[in-house]
Structure 1
Amino acid sequence: MVTTPAQQCPYAPGGDDEAAATHGGGPTLSFERATPYVEYAGVDTLLSLQNTRTDEPAETAFIVSTQVMELLFTLVQQRWEAARDALEADDVPGALAWLRRACHAQDVLNASWGLLSDMTPTEFNRFRPAFGEASGFQSYGYRELEFLLGNKSAAMIRPHKAMGGVVAELTRLLEGPSLYDAALRLLRRRGLPVPDDHVERDWTADYEPSAGVEHAWALVYGDDRPGNELFLLAEALLDVAERVTRWRHSHLVAVKRAMGAKPGSGGSNGLNWLARNAEQDVFPELWSLRNTM
């Protein structure tokens, strides 16, 4: 049974105790307007947003999956930013907690590809022309995540130039340190030999892997006792990175299944572009050091 926030909290006015006394232990069934649940979660607004443009039933699943992913992008961003800020404040336990929460959200995000897993090319072709040049490539929520991962490019802000607030948010993330940058800065403050040019650099530039950074992480892995919070941080970052790679690969497979190697609606070469993106390691030195350990 779904309960309202007030019913869930025994300390809220009109909460469980009062409702139980008033209704003999049963839920409130009479309201003067929309139920508190609908108002709190904006359910009516949410359910009014699946505006299909064709009669193809699969279009609904396509729109719902897109909207679910956009909501989860926002949640993941909040948790990655909280983890980054905790690292900048030398709060590793706090960062680890936020990274764990982010991974839970990423698991749901990855599972949402299942909504499209049974869509056939015939179904997709029946509504694809209706969305014109619309493409996931244009998702600013996804672009914010890429910037937080260190995949920076000022050119990727251009598609959103007509959206002032979006440009401001993307510019903020472009010009600040990424989640990985914050981790490397923490390692340096803890005495590890992270190179100078990876501690203070042009944050707007795409991250470039470094042998020096790989060596610093190798030193962290040299002490894998349970109490080493830097080792726990490395593994938590890899948990994040692995889930990003899984999401990219699921995207690639979904596109390959629905439309093959046709050009993408947003003007990219579709499958080839997704394949290159899926092959790009997130937090690269955490992967490359495994070749020599």
Structure 2
Amino acid sequence: MRRHLETTWMPADCERFADLQFTNGRIVLTDAERDELAACYERASVGADGPHDETVRLLTRSFSRRDTIPEYYRYTSLHVFDWYLRQHPDDTDRAALVALHVTLSDLARVESREAGRVWRPSAETSERLHRLRTLITRVRRIVTDPGSGETVQDLVRGEFVTDSARRRRFLLSRCSGFRQSDKHDEHIFLRCVQACELVFFLVRQTAHRVVDAVGADPPLAGERLRRLGTYADLLNDIFHLLRTLTPTMFMGFREATGAASAVQSLNYHLMELVVYGHDPRKAETYDRFPHLAVLNAPALRGRRALVDVVEETGDPALRSLLDDSTRALLTWRGRHYGFGRRYLADIKGSGGTDGASYLKRYVDKTRYARTGDRTEHHDLLVDFACR
């Protein structure tokens, strides 16, 4: 029955598009195959808008020549995650947690299948699977509704109730796991990047909700700050998993990823902007990428951040919870810098930065005076950011 449904959701031509990209990585695609995928996207973007065209768009947007898509977004297929979250406009937080579970579970299937190819997996492979399973368990145990005790595990089970929900999850997994290279180790890198994007979004959304509750309901603001800390801890868990890549493994596929760089990530920069406020040290970087230039807009430069709002309350309990959250984010930035120092060393970053030195510059945060209205919500700050 399940196989029949998957065949319905992924017709033969769509399955072929997926196999072209998945089997040996996108880098081996011929010019003719790239032309075909680009043409299919353009055709599916006009006229009828049925399930088939929707699936074709999800599978082929990365090859579009009509849309201006930064390399980072072509590589990460974040448009698929954006599509998934837009199916749940009234509950994007829960949808993001389910998407995170789907992403990590798909990685677990890929890693388990690879481990099964040999009689005795290596110590590195065994440790990777252990860390991955531990992370998935932590995600499943996240409480999404303190009142009912609902967890992510409950959401995951609920998502299987209808065929339409199953289809959304299937397409999220099937249309987003495409490496550039033929190296197996790129799977964990790509899926960890996608997982981080979802957590950046969750941190940002939760920070908004803390600000909304600070004046009206301090206990609720505290509850939301604790949740923000839980999400921030996930970033460290993801990097702990990513460290199962050795420098040799990483360099085995890095060149294939081309100019795709996390410095181009809107979700990352927006998370930092909402939590810490605009950092003028990044202004030059923002201006270097057209899709980031909006982050230098006056409304965003002057916007008061979560740290400003909580500090102004003078509430020691809220300040303590904020410290817990920002400490977790500081640890993550330190680990990100450590990753760059270990894996890139003196190599220039793929986004044109000076690699590890660029990351080191932003480990510690500097407070800047901001006078903007804390309630002014730019549309960009609310949605999952994808270009």
Tell me which residue corresponds to 1:78.
205
Tell me which residue corresponds to 2:277.
150
Tell me which residue corresponds to 1:38.
166
Tell me which residue corresponds to 1:131.
257
Query: Quick one: distance in 2 between partners of 1:77 and 1:262?
Result: 31
Tell me which residue corresponds to 1:255.
340
1:90–1:186 CA contact under 8 A, matched in 2 = no
Are 1:266 and 2:351 matched, yes or no? yes
SS in 1 for 2:245: coil
Moved more, 120-129 or 243-252: 120-129
Aligned alpha-carbon RMSD (Å): 3.0
Tell me which residue corresponds to 2:220.
94
SS in 2 for 1:269: coil
Amino acid at match of 2:319: A
Question: 1:119 deviation in Å?
Answer: 1.3
2:277–2:305 CA contact under 8 A, matched in 1 = yes
Query: Quick one: distance in 2 between partners of 1:108 and 1:254?
Result: 16
2:181–2:253 CA contact under 8 A, matched in 1 = yes
Spell out, residue by residue over 1:226-249, the C-alpha distance to the aligned partner (whole angstroms, 9 max, x if none).
xxxx11011111111101111011
2:211–2:306 CA contact under 8 A, matched in 1 = yes
Query: Quick one: distance in 2 between partners of 1:268 and 1:241?
Result: 25
Tell me which residue corresponds to 1:178.
305
| Residues 145, 282 of structure 1: alpha-carbon distance in 2 compared, 3 angstrom cutoff | farther
Tell me which residue corresponds to 1:207.
none
Query: Quick one: distance in 1 between partners of 2:366 and 2:289?
Result: 25
In the superposition, the TM-score normalised over structure 1's length comes to: 0.62
Tell me which residue corresponds to 2:330.
245
How many positions carry a matched residue from both structures?
208
Spell out, residue by residue over 1:157-206, the C-alpha distance to the aligned partner (whole angstroms, 9 max, x if none).
4355348xx9489875444211122124434xxxxxxxxxxxxxxxxxxx
SS in 2 for 1:177: coil
Structure 1: state its 5+ residue gaps.
6-26, 188-229, 285-293
SS in 2 for 1:42: helix
2:344–2:355 CA contact under 8 A, matched in 1 = no
Percent identity between matched residues is: 27
| Residues 84, 110 of structure 1: alpha-carbon distance in 2 compared, 3 angstrom cutoff | same
Amino acid at match of 1:38: R
Spell out, residue by residue over 1:98-130, the C-alpha distance to the aligned partner (whole angstroms, 9 max, x if none).
110011111112100123212122222221111
Query: Quick one: distance in 1 between partners of 2:228 and 2:298?
Result: 23
Question: 1:85 deviation in Å?
Answer: 2.1
Query: Quick one: distance in 1 between partners of 2:244 and 2:352?
Result: 25
SS in 1 for 2:362: helix
Are 1:275 and 2:360 matched, yes or no? yes
Structure 2: state its 5+ residue gaps.
1-97, 99-156, 369-387
